[in-house]
Structure 1
Amino acid sequence: MDRKTLGMDAEQRAEEWLCNQGLILLKRNARCRLGEIDLIMYDRDTIVFIEVRRRKHAQFGGAAASVDWQKQRKLIRTARYIMSGQTGWDGYPCRFDVVAFEGDQPPIWYKDAFRP
């Protein structure tokens, strides 16, 4: 499989896994002129922006470490832009999660992985 297919597979697996954890899907691959959010889900009373990362192994910090400050800043800006265009979302708290896949291991879910 090529990188794009592997990434799409990881996003699908993350979505299914998070739904099994009780989250509700709002949007998948939400794009705007500033970037893309892999998954936007609802967790009880919180809108959750989720970045899905997949790496073959944990070398160089692994999948979660690849969400560096530059990527975080881009995700925050993208989320703000998406939020501004959604009616009814403005009263909800939000958070940023990362779901990391490394090799064939089960996903690691980093709730509230970073803050704006």
Structure 2
Amino acid sequence: MIDETVLYALAARAQKQAVKARRRRAARTAAGPASAGSVPDADAQARYSPTQKTGRRFEELAMRHLQTHGLLILDRNLACRAGEIDLVARDGPVLVFIEVRHRSSSRYGGAFSSVDGLKQAKLMRCARYFLPSLVRRHFGGRMPACRFDVVSVEPNALDWIKNAFTET
């Protein structure tokens, strides 16, 4: 038979985890999705970790770069169980899923090389998940051509690789 103090400790730990999970869900719900082209206000920035703030800053930089080259940003940070797509844009008749990668050093291959086969598979699964709603909202229900781009941000360089990989 299990000791009552052990059972009590397990129940208390489970209760604390449930409270944390509820708080995280409430914070995500209160945050709401970031609208395309908007810069989060100071209150919204406060809830991000330093790493997330850095990532959002480079996503913002990539977004501005893409907009100056004629892309229309449709959505940002689309997340599902499969993963997250940083930016979704329209390049004329083409729907573009964009991964933004930043590395402060190219010592281990740089930002672009970090989009390996596993990351590509995650991006494709996530894109398949959001594709029906994106097609309905932005293409009138007609399936557009799609491509996957990567924006690589490294010291002194921002590279935009169009059609960086294809679905196999």
Are the counterparts in 2 of residues 96 and 112 from structure 1 also a CA contact under 8 Å? yes
Alpha-carbon RMSD across the aligned residues, in angstroms, is 1.4
Partner residue in 2 for 1:113: 164
How far is the alpha carbon of 1:32 from its aligned partner?
Answer: 1.8
1:68-83 map, 5 Å: 68-83=116-131
Are the counterparts in 2 of residues 49 and 96 from structure 1 also a CA contact under 8 Å? yes
- Residue 92 in structure 1 maps to residue 144 in structure 2: yes
Give a deviation string over 1:78-103, Cα, whole Å, max 9, x none.
Answer: 00110023313542000000000112
Partner residue in 2 for 1:42: 90
Q: Following the alignment from structure 1 to structure 2, what is the Cα–Cα distance between the partners of residues 90 and 78? A: 19
In the TM superposition, structure 1's runs of 4+ consecutive aligned residues that sit over 4 Å from their partners are none
Partner residue in 2 for 1:9: 57
Q: Which runs of 5+ in 1 are unaligned?
A: none
- Residue 62 in structure 1 maps to residue 113 in structure 2: no
Are the counterparts in 2 of residues 51 and 97 from structure 1 also a CA contact under 8 Å? yes
Identity of aligned residues (%): 43
Partner residue in 1 for 2:44: none
Structure number with higher relative contact order (C-alpha < 8 Å, ≥ 6 residues apart): 1
Are the counterparts in 2 of residues 37 and 75 from structure 1 also a CA contact under 8 Å? yes
Q: Following the alignment from structure 1 to structure 2, what is the Cα–Cα distance between the partners of residues 107 and 89? A: 34
Give a deviation string over 1:53-112, Cα, whole Å, max 9, x none.
Answer: 000011111000000000000000100110023313542000000000112x23100100
Equivalent position amino acid for 2:106 in 1: A
Structure with bigger strand share is 1
Larger Rg: 2
Are the counterparts in 2 of residues 37 and 51 from structure 1 also a CA contact under 8 Å? yes
Are the counterparts in 2 of residues 54 and 63 from structure 1 also a CA contact under 8 Å? yes
Partner residue in 2 for 1:26: 74
TM-score by length of structure 1 reads: 0.93
